[in-house]
Amino acid sequence: MSTSPKLDAKIPEGVLENKWTKYRSTVPLVNPANKRSLEIIVVGSGLAGSAAAASLAEMGYKVKVFCFQDSPRRAHSIAAQGGINAAKNYQNDGDSVYRLFYDTIKGGDYRAREANVHRLAEVSGNIIDQCVAQGVPFAREYGGLLSNRSFGGTQVQRTFYAAGQTGQQLLLGAYSALERQIGMGAVQMYSRHEMLDIVNIDGKCRGIIARDLVTGKLERHFGHAVLLCTGGYGNVFYLSTNAMGSNVTAAWKAHKKGAFFSNPCYTQIHPTCIPVSGTHQSKLTLMSESLRNDGRIWVPKRKEDAQAIREGKLNPNDLKEEDRDYYLERRYPAFGNLVPRDVASRAAKERCDAGFGVNKTGEAVFLDFAANMMRYGRIEANKKGIYNPTEDVVKQLGKEVVVEKYGNLFDMYKQITGVDPYENPMMIYPAVHYTMGGLWVDYNLMTTVPGLYALGEANFSDHGANRLGASALMQGLADGYFVIPYTIGAYLSNEIRTKAIPTDHEAFVTAEKETAEQINKLMNVKGTKPVDYFHRKLGLIMWNECGMARNAEGLKKAIQDIQALRDEFWKDVRIPGEANNMNPELEKAGRVADFLELGELMCIDALNRNESCGGHFREEYQTEEGEALRDDENYAYVASWENKGNSWELHKEELKYENIKIAQRSYK
Ligand X SMILES: Cc1cc2nc3c(=O)[nH]c(=O)nc-3n(C[C@H](O)[C@H](O)[C@H](O)COP(=O)(O)OP(=O)(O)OC[C@H]3O[C@@H](n4cnc5c(N)ncnc54)[C@H](O)[C@@H]3O)c2cc1C
Q: Among residue numbers 606 through 645, which ones bind other proteins (CB under 8 A)?
A: none
**C-alpha–C-alpha distance, residues 325 and 515, integer Å:** 55
> Nearest to residue 611, comparing CAs of 353, 369, 199, 263?
263
CB of 574 to other proteins, least distance (A): 6
By C-beta, is 273 or 555 nearer to other proteins?
273
56 in contact with ligand X (CB under 6 A): no
CB of 436 to ligand X, least distance (A): 10
Among 252, 434, 508, 595, binds ligand X (CB under 6 A): 434
Q: Is residue 35 within 8 Å of 46, Cβ to Cβ?
A: no
**Residue 269 CB burial class (10 angstroms; 0-12, 13-18, ≥19):** buried
> Nearest to residue 220, comparing CAs of 472, 41, 21?
41
CB of 77 to ligand X, least distance (A): 3
Among 23, 35, 40, 44, binds ligand X (CB under 6 A): 44
Q: Is residue 326 within 8 Å of 297, Cβ to Cβ?
A: yes
Q: Choose the one of ligand X, other proteins, none that binds residue 412, judging by a C-beta under 5 to 8 angstroms depending on kind.
A: other proteins
Please enumerate in sequence order all residues whose Cβ is within 8 A of that of 311, keeping only pairs 6 or more positions apart, or say none: none
Among 109, 114, 194, 380, binds ligand X (CB under 6 A): 194
DSSP letters, 109-132, are TS-S-HHHHHHHHHHHHHHHHHHH
Please report, as residue ranges, which positions from 187 to 226 form the binding site for other proteins (by CB under 8 A): 189, 191, 214
Integer CA distances (angstroms), 349 to 298, 309, 483, 561, 614, in order = 12, 18, 38, 24, 15
340 in contact with ligand X (CB under 6 A): no
CB of 562 to other proteins, least distance (A): 22
143 in contact with other proteins (CB under 8 A): yes
**C-alpha–C-alpha distance, residues 503 and 393, integer Å:** 70
CB of 66 to ligand X, least distance (A): 4
Please report, as residue ranges, which positions from 78 to 97 form the binding site for other proteins (by CB under 8 A): 78-79, 88, 90
Q: Choose the one of ligand X, other proteins, none that binds residue 383, judging by a C-beta under 5 to 8 angstroms depending on kind.
A: none
CB of 247 to ligand X, least distance (A): 6
Among 32, 144, 502, 645, binds other proteins (CB under 8 A): 144
Q: Is residue 66 within 8 Å of 42, Cβ to Cβ?
A: yes
Among 169, 241, 267, 293, binds ligand X (CB under 6 A): 241
443 in contact with ligand X (CB under 6 A): no
545 in contact with ligand X (CB under 6 A): no
Q: Which stretch binds other proteins (CB under 8 A): 271-279, 310-318, 386-394, 625-633?
A: 271-279
Among 156, 239, 412, 470, binds other proteins (CB under 8 A): 412
CB of 229 to ligand X, least distance (A): 5
Integer CA distances (angstroms), 307 to 107, 196, 311, 640, in order = 35, 50, 6, 46
Which among 24, 341, 467, 618 is annotated as catalytic?
A: 341
The answer to whether residue 341 is catalytic is yes
Among 54, 120, 198, 473, binds ligand X (CB under 6 A): 473
Report helix, strand or coil for 32.
helix
CB of 84 to ligand X, least distance (A): 6
541 in contact with other proteins (CB under 8 A): no
199 in contact with ligand X (CB under 6 A): no
- Helix runs in 418-530, H state only: 472-477, 484-492, 506-525
Please enumerate in sequence order all residues whose Cβ is within 8 A of that of 42, keeping only pairs 6 or more positions apart, or say none: 49, 52, 53, 56, 63, 64, 65, 66, 227, 229
Beta strands in 282-335 (DSSP E): 296-300, 324-325
**C-alpha–C-alpha distance, residues 258 and 599, integer Å:** 18
> Nearest to residue 479, comparing CAs of 22, 31, 53?
53
Please report, as residue ranges, which positions from 472 to 501 form the binding site for other proteins (by CB under 8 A): 481-482, 485
Integer CA distances (angstroms), 486 to 30, 225, 482, 489, in order = 10, 14, 7, 6
Among 175, 266, 406, 440, binds other proteins (CB under 8 A): 175
Among 27, 132, 201, 308, binds other proteins (CB under 8 A): 132
Among 6, 140, 303, 656, binds other proteins (CB under 8 A): 140
Annotated catalytic residues are: 341
